[in-house]
Structure 1
């Protein structure tokens, strides 16, 4: 195993690749890049276990780009991915690298939902690399796409392929490629089915394992809120108001929920949009482009629709609905804190979901690195709004036309025959707009302490028969009449 502190040149990459990386801001290789790149450059088959956000895209793209023979006008590299979003994302990264190189490498991105004419035109240019989803790749293969001289096959997010039922399609695609080739397979987990696939189609693969603690969650400040006191909708508004963020992704369980929450946020002035599988591809691409370029700040989406999103602006991820398993949780929060960047995540946990949260997520987060937080109270909102208002005042202290407004203020004071303090208070009330600077306190309601017990914990608490318990469901109970005291 190589030292993670090595530079890119130490990994065996050519000078032009290293210079390209330096020019676009890549400073040092990440752990998965340090381990994978030398092996892939040597032509080894590779089985890599790495979570989303670990930097694996560059780990397999850089050796692939270096090994391309631009004089040979046939498909030399094939990357198979589970979703169109991931195909598009890897295509963007690949083109980003290629634009900084001195020679031309042609690529084609093939996925369902895009017009065939566009893809036929790309294929006519004899691409060196093809990135595609299983279904659309099979369509093109049945129409005559030739990958019989392929040198490198890369299968990304294999466990997701398995979950979505694509393994048979992958096996069918592999029939079209030569026996003597290099194969690399990447997966967040390695279930038996994935290992069987690797044994069947790979030759003595080298295995790489990247500890999740240094990949998926290392730079993400994780937190959760136990839902009580107010609705999730209202809590969402409060968290969005007090948190500082550049862009947010909100994960929900259903397609209809993406539309409902987006509509609510827009009603309250947030620049938000929904993303789900029912939308046509052009709308989805436009929405993602808006998020990437900064004209959209909040995206509400489902797990599948957001697969493969890699956008630098995403600094905050909210799990509005709890994910069904730990891998889904890692995928969600991995939309922020990617490849060394920092980020925050928040999970809403309803009382009937506490068993799922405790056993599926909390106990698997390394070093117990997920913190329970309180929902912002009315006092928190007032402090936040006053801070924003005060900042606006400070920013205008040095304005050159302030004296003119002072003169107008004096005239209004005389005309209305009121004190300057009362006039200032009236103007402050007008200036506050829809976000009131005075809100009645709800600290007791919001900060009510809720303790959830797992069914297995009931025996431990049997000695406390004098306390009042309320049985909420088969798996959890609620301890009532316990409050936080305001200091």
Structure 2
């Protein structure tokens, strides 16, 4: 949509009155470009193929028109939304609830791995007009007969490229094939890989194609900078940035779950309101943490890519990539957490010398240079500290509270010590500051580098995702291999009832286990794929609930039926077609 054509208003688009009221309550003044182009054809019943970056308002682009066609008197699911992660599924479900707040008796149900089946079964039994879920859990409910889609009117594939990257594309195809042929389909994707376009060609009926015109793959409202890691520890650099940058809330990305906790604890020790967000943290606690961020009770969230997917918090003014992501799509999704819906945002990237190649790949894809930033000097920090200290005193002076007692005390002290008023004020200032020096020493400029995360050896994405060049063992050993990067974790080998004959790929296995077991992929170890089964190394001592959930999980239209391998003879044919270590999407 060109700049010369003004965007229409929500009122002229034909949306139902209750939705317009909710849109007004949400503070939306005018539709974004993706909303302006998507709402009319979806209201008319057309299939739609939309390419738009995260943060452009695409949830409202499909939710508002499809909600306008919901019959609240019909209790069976009329709309299904597939999302790659539980976080995005929850986010989308919450958005539907917000937009439908004035639709009486409306119900939306999010279904995803990691949550109790009992909760989801009760909600589905009560009746749901809209179901939002991850592909694996949706498939499971469909096979159980607890999710029936005979009356389905529309289906949305949200972030289809991400579902492809996580290995869910075959599950998505299966769900599409089980839905009524008359249903309407909307597919949204930030990028358009060949496999995603192939799905669109096979399942969408003469879709209206929409591509939001942007000069770059990232929002123009995001100011992007990078710091070449040198001289300072990354933690010290982050601390300086936090002191100098004028931010409301900041999202800090690291690669591993362990790093989220370690970094959050170190920031807290330095006086910052920070918390970690990772897949090991229970879902309810993660939701509570995000809510605290929204309410301003914490200011910094240290997170991994997976759990931050779909995070939409208006307060996030800054995204800082403490660890550079290994693929450009992840970078785009990361920084899309700020600069949303036209607001300005800041994105900062830490780049070690050997990571310059990744920086250049990002710049090439987003078609714009990322400007280098200078790390704040000790002098810069001290200017800010003095300014904040003065402001504390100004705030105290502005309170206009009666200070007769203090006047009397200080007058007596001045006479007793024969001290000047400024001498007394300086002594009080020292008491206010405490033992911590107010000014940063210039010696801090010459910090040596240590074995921080930026100094750890990096494996390329090809090493993780490409087929192994080593000769496969035959037959495969029952003994699990040590987990690379986490030798302290005891691993156990498991058998999966899915193999090469089902055209399974390591990504399918990783995606299913990561979603259903709420397990970061860095803890999913060695995978070998045989003709009719596969093996995977997972942390020993898996909770019974998780084990039972994985047994019932479907991959490539077949149950995993996971079983531990304890030396019993395998029944499969021992000639692996593929052998690889899993992708480390940390």
Question: The TM-score by the shorter chain falls in which range?
Answer: 0.7 to 0.9
Q: Give the structure 2 partner of residue 135 of structure 1.
A: 136
Bigger shift: residues 143-152 or 209-218: 209-218
Residues 141-290 of structure 1 aligned to structure 2 (within 5 Å): 141-144=142-145, 145-213=147-215, 216-290=218-292
Change (3 A) 1:405 1:187: same
Task: Give secondary structure in 2 for the equivalent of 1:305.
Answer: helix
For 2:142 and 2:165, locate their aligned partners in 1 and report how far apart those are by CA, in whole Å.
23
Change (3 A) 1:243 1:433: farther
**Contact 1:377 1:443 (8 Å CA) reproduced:** no
Q: Give the structure 1 partner of residue 486 of structure 2.
A: none
Change (3 A) 1:128 1:74: same
**Contact 2:50 2:209 (8 Å CA) reproduced:** yes
**Contact 1:75 1:149 (8 Å CA) reproduced:** yes
Q: Give the structure 1 partner of residue 91 of structure 2.
A: 89
1:73 pairs with 2:100? no
Task: Give secondary structure in 2 for the equivalent of 1:112.
Answer: coil
Give the structure-2-normalised TM-score: 0.72
How far is the alpha carbon of 1:350 from its aligned partner?
1.2
How far is the alpha carbon of 1:4 from its aligned partner?
4.7
**Contact 2:217 2:365 (8 Å CA) reproduced:** no
For 2:365 and 2:193, locate their aligned partners in 1 and report how far apart those are by CA, in whole Å.
17
**Contact 2:232 2:445 (8 Å CA) reproduced:** no
Q: Give the structure 1 partner of residue 439 of structure 2.
A: 438
Deviation sequence 1:131-175 (CA, Å, 0-9, x none): 001111112112212112211010000111011110111122223
For 1:427 and 1:152, locate their aligned partners in 2 and report how far apart those are by CA, in whole Å.
68
**Contact 1:148 1:176 (8 Å CA) reproduced:** no
For 2:274 and 2:32, locate their aligned partners in 1 and report how far apart those are by CA, in whole Å.
33
For 1:75 and 1:158, locate their aligned partners in 2 and report how far apart those are by CA, in whole Å.
21
Task: Give secondary structure in 2 for the equivalent of 1:67.
Answer: coil
For 1:53 and 1:362, locate their aligned partners in 2 and report how far apart those are by CA, in whole Å.
19
For 2:282 and 2:120, locate their aligned partners in 1 and report how far apart those are by CA, in whole Å.
17
Q: Give the structure 1 partner of residue 549 of structure 2.
A: none
Bigger shift: residues 12-21 or 334-343: 12-21
For 1:184 and 1:365, locate their aligned partners in 2 and report how far apart those are by CA, in whole Å.
25
Show structure 1 runs of 5+ residues with no match.
447-487
**Contact 1:316 1:336 (8 Å CA) reproduced:** yes
Q: Give the structure 2 partner of residue 477 of structure 1.
A: none
Q: Give the structure 1 partner of residue 405 of structure 2.
A: 404
For 1:23 and 1:425, locate their aligned partners in 2 and report how far apart those are by CA, in whole Å.
51
Q: Give the structure 1 partner of residue 388 of structure 2.
A: 388
**Contact 2:385 2:439 (8 Å CA) reproduced:** no
Change (3 A) 1:434 1:312: farther
For 1:439 and 1:344, locate their aligned partners in 2 and report how far apart those are by CA, in whole Å.
25
**Contact 1:54 1:216 (8 Å CA) reproduced:** no
Q: Give the structure 2 partner of residue 20 of structure 1.
A: 22
Deviation sequence 1:3-28 (CA, Å, 0-9, x none): 45211123232344323322331110
Change (3 A) 1:128 1:438: closer
Residues 326-345 of structure 1 aligned to structure 2 (within 5 Å): 326-345=328-347
How far is the alpha carbon of 1:402 from its aligned partner?
3.4
How far is the alpha carbon of 1:303 from its aligned partner?
0.8
How far is the alpha carbon of 1:417 from its aligned partner?
4.5
Provide the aligned C-alpha RMSD in A. Answer: 2.0
How far is the alpha carbon of 1:321 from its aligned partner?
0.8
**Contact 1:4 1:29 (8 Å CA) reproduced:** no
**Contact 1:98 1:104 (8 Å CA) reproduced:** no
Task: Give secondary structure in 1 for the equivalent of 2:56.
Answer: coil
For 2:217 and 2:26, locate their aligned partners in 1 and report how far apart those are by CA, in whole Å.
22
Aligned residues: 443
Q: Give the structure 2 partner of residue 374 of structure 1.
A: 374
How far is the alpha carbon of 1:411 from its aligned partner?
2.4
Change (3 A) 1:198 1:297: same
